[in-house]
């Protein structure tokens, strides 16, 4: 009895999708018993990498774009770009006599590691978000304090001049007030008998001191009236400088955003000041990079199997068929050109044979016409013959 043909089960949609992610030919792979699960595993690793890339790009664009739909679209697009690169790297892995070519493998590993390191940054920022937000506030305050010090240094000369003028005016007014107090105290002592004259009441000396006291009081009041507008002007200039500095601080503070680069800087400061965070950061980056490199490593570490043999055989057959088709086409084209040339020659020979008598009569008429001309030359005869037999000569 003949053995019944073995029925090959049709793979489900999820399996075919994983094979597509693994850059495998489903028509060839479904005939390979031992290779199906291997390429499912590679497909799963590519799927995980795709999800990680989409998530990382989504968080990256969320730090610079406020529209959720735009963030979603950009995340899906760039995630698919990473997926395309991974499938290209896997599909381009070729074997020669069962061995991988070293230089292409090294180049693809370096490319995969680079992509993994970049993708790991947004994921790490998302994992350490609370700590990074706290560090961002500290960094903003530190930068604002440093900016304020720069403004103080920048305005130090002008502020010192204004402050000096303010101090001088106040000092002169204080000196005049002290002088007025001396005159007033001297007058009071002369009137109550505790002064130098020892007399009580308005004596001559008391009246002199009273006159000096009143004069000093008038000078003090005049100086005070003259100083008040100057003081207001100086205070207005100093207040204006403080207002300008406050406006500059507000503008500078608005530039201190929580964007991607600011978070990277805060993460760097956090890892430098907290060694345990630095160790976890390196470990997470290593794991995420390993996830990105995992599909390529799976392809490299997988031994050559039935699928590779069938794929190589199919590729060799396709190349051989293409070469045969090319050679056949070239041979057919050469045969066509040779046959066309022979047919054209036969046609021209028949044409000249059929018009021999007519061409002789025309040649005789041409010679007669040439002889009838004055100063006839053979060159003119030849040109007339070419024009008659071959048509217009350019």
> What is the SS3 assignment for 95?
strand
User: Does residue 4 lie in a domain region?
Assistant: no
Q: Copy the structure tokens of residue 97.
A: 């006599």
Look at residue 311 and tell me if it is in a domain. Answer: no
Residue 394 has pLDDT above 50, yes or no: no
Q: Other C-beta atoms within 10 Å of 350: how many? A: 10
Q: Are residues 217 and 281 in the same domain?
A: no
Tell me whether residue 106 is in a domain. yes
pLDDT digits (tens, 9 = 90+) for 132-149: 888 888 888 888 888 888
**pLDDT bracket for residue 393 (50, 70, 90):** very low
The chain-wide mean pLDDT, for the chain, equals 79
Q: What is the pLDDT of residue 101?
A: 59
From residue 32, alpha-carbon distances to 28, 179, 236, 330 in Å are 7, 113, 89, 38
The answer on 52 and 123 residing in a single domain is: yes
Retrieve residue 111's tokens. 């490319």
Quick one: 349 and 384 in the same domain?
yes
Verify that 353 and 374 share a domain, yes or no: yes
Q: Are residues 170 and 71 in the same domain?
A: no
Percentage of the chain modeled with pLDDT above 70:
86
Are residues 250 and 163 part of one domain?
yes
- pLDDT tens digits, 333-358: 888 888 888 888 888 788 777 877 77
Q: Is residue 133 part of a domain?
A: no
Q: Render pLDDT for 79-123 as a digit per residue (tens, 0 to 9).
A: 898 888 888 877 777 554 445 556 666 776 787 788 777 777 787
**Overall number of domains in the chain:** 3
- Token readout for 104 is 């292409």
**201 domain-assigned:** yes
Q: Residue 137 falls within a domain, yes or no?
A: no
**Residue 12 per-residue DSSP state:** -
Q: Are residues 118 and 161 in the same domain?
A: no
Same domain, 300 and 365: no
pLDDT band at 2 (very low <50, low <70, confident <90, very high): very low
**Which residues form the domain of 329?**
317-390
Asked if residue 268 is part of any domain, the answer here is: no
Contacts of 393 (CB under 8 A, 6+ apart): 383, 386, 387
Shared-domain flag, residues 207 and 287:
no
Say what angle helices 68-91 and 36-62 make with each other, to 10 degrees: 150
pTM of this structure: 0.52
Are residues 357 and 336 both part of a single domain? yes
Range picked from 91-95, 288-292, 308-312 for highest mean pLDDT: 288-292
251 and 152 share one domain:
yes
CA angle 275/278/281 to nearest 5° reads 155
Residue with more model confidence, 301 or 219: 219
Cα separation, 90 vs 41, in Å, equals 13
In the prediction, which pLDDT does 238 show?
A: 86
Q: What's the average model confidence in pLDDT over 275-285?
A: 81
Residue 140 lies in a domain: no
* 3-state secondary structure (DSSP) of residue 99: strand
- What does the pLDDT read at residue 274? 78
């Amino acid at each position: 009895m003949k053995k019944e043909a073995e029925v090959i089960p049709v793979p489900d949609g999820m399996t075919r999708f994983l094979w597509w992610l693994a850059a495998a030919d489903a028509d060839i792979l479904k005939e390979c018993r031992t290779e199906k699960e291997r390429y499912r595993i590679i497909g799963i690793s590519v799927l995980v990498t795709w999800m990680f890339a989409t998530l990382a790009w989504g968080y990256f664009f969320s730090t610079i774009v406020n529209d959720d739909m735009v963030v979603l679209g950009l995340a899906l697009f760039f995630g698919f770009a990473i997926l395309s690169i991974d499938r290209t790297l896997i599909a381009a892995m070729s074997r020669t006599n069962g061995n991988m070519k070293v230089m292409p493998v090294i180049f693809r590993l370096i490319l995969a590691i680079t992509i993994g390191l970049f993708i790991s940054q947004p994921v790490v920022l998302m994992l350490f978000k609370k700590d990074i937000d706290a560090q961002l506030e500290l960094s903003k305050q530190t930068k604002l304090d440093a900016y304020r010090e720069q403004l103080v240094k920048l305005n130090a000369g002008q502020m010192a001049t204004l402050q000096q003028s303010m101090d001088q005016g106040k000092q002169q007014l204080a000196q005049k007030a002290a002088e007025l107090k001396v005159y007033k105290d001297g007058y009071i002592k002369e009137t109550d008998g505790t002064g130098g004259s020892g007399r009580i009441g308005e004596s001559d000396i008391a009246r002199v001191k009273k006159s000096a006291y009143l004069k000093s009081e008038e000078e003090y009041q005049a100086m005070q009236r003259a100083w008040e507008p100057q003081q207001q002007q100086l205070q207005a200039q100093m207040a204006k400088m403080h207002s300008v500095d406050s406006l500059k601080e507000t503008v500078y503070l608005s530039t201190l955003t929580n964007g991607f680069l600011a978070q990277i800087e805060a993460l760097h400061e956090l890892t430098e000041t907290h060694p345990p965070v630095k160790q976890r950061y390196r470990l997470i980056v290593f794991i995420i990079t390993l996830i990105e490199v995992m599909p390529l490593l799976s392809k490299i570490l997988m031994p050559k199997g039935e699928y590779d043999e069938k794929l190589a055989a199919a590729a060799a057959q396709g190349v051989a068929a293409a070469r045969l088709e090319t050679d056949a086409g070239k041979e057919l084209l050469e045969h066509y050109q040779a046959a066309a040339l022979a047919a054209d020659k036969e046609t021209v020979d028949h044409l000249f044979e059929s018009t021999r008598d007519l061409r002789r009569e025309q040649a005789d008429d041409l010679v007669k016409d040439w002889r009838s001309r004055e100063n006839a030359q053979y060159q003119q005869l030849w040109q007339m013959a070419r024009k008659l037999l071959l048509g217009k000569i350019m």
